[in-house]
Chains A and B, each alone.
Chain A
Amino acid sequence: DTAVSQTPKYLVTQMGNDKSIKCEQNLGHDTMYWYKQDSKKFLKIMFSYNNKELIINETVPNRFSPKSPDKAHLNLHINSLELGDSAVYFCASSQDLVEQFFGPGTRLTVL
């Protein structure tokens, strides 16, 4: 009965590859988010979707493409991976647009 789940938990891949991270929430929330935590531990928002509609896009390279097939899912696809994409990616969801519930994170390592 995990509230916000992400798969995979770890992802190791070569530069130039394309990869996806999946996120699902069973809280019935309308809004979902992707955050990136870099090597300096800085947690920064990337995208936000409300009822499958993009509401926040924080000048993320267009190699990153979020997709929300329904309001319970927000997947993140990354094309042409670069070394600088190595980070921990957190998915989150929210109903009141303030308090957010986070998934366990996906540690992406680009070699």
Chain B
Amino acid sequence: DQQVKQNSPSLSVQEGRISILNCDYTNSMFDYFLWYKKYPAEGPTFLISISSIKDKNEDGRFTVFLNKSAKHLSLHIVPSQPGDSAVYFCAATDTGTASKLTFGTGTRLQVTL
């Protein structure tokens, strides 16, 4: 029962263009969402997060959008850079219960020159 889904296993974007990574969730108790970035042979690193009381959070080139009614969030990277090439994991949690993150299966982003 996968509560967080990233339906695109991979995405290729040209340098300078916008990258849009999508994530869907099924658990309506989730109220906090995070994006992690992972390079090969390294652990995931935190990128950006959003609380369910917001619908947008921005940090430099990274913006996360949350659509609660659709149970959908997306990460926008603009402009995309070659160093952004990595696997991006969406994660969600219910902050009212134990601190457990539920992860999606990741989307591999390739930014080409």
Binary contact track A47-87/B, C-beta < 8 Å → 1, others 0? 01000000110100000000000000000000000000000
* Separation of A42 and B101 alpha carbons in the complex (Å): 12
- Is B25 an interface position by the 8 A CB rule? no
**Are the C-beta atoms of A104 and B100 separated by less than 8 Å?**
no
**Are the C-beta atoms of B46 and A99 separated by less than 8 Å?**
yes
* Separation of A99 and B101 alpha carbons in the complex (Å): 9
Partner of A45 from the list B42, B100, B106 (CB cut-off 8 Å) is B100
- Is B95 an interface position by the 8 A CB rule? yes
**Are the C-beta atoms of B98 and A56 separated by less than 8 Å?**
yes
**Are the C-beta atoms of A99 and B100 separated by less than 8 Å?**
no
Partner of A105 from the list B32, B41, B93, B100 (CB cut-off 8 Å) is B41
A-B contact pairs, 13 of them (CB 8 A): A4-B43, A42-B2, A42-B105, A45-B102, A48-B100, A55-B98, A56-B99, A56-B100, A98-B32, A101-B45, A103-B43, A104-B42, A104-B43
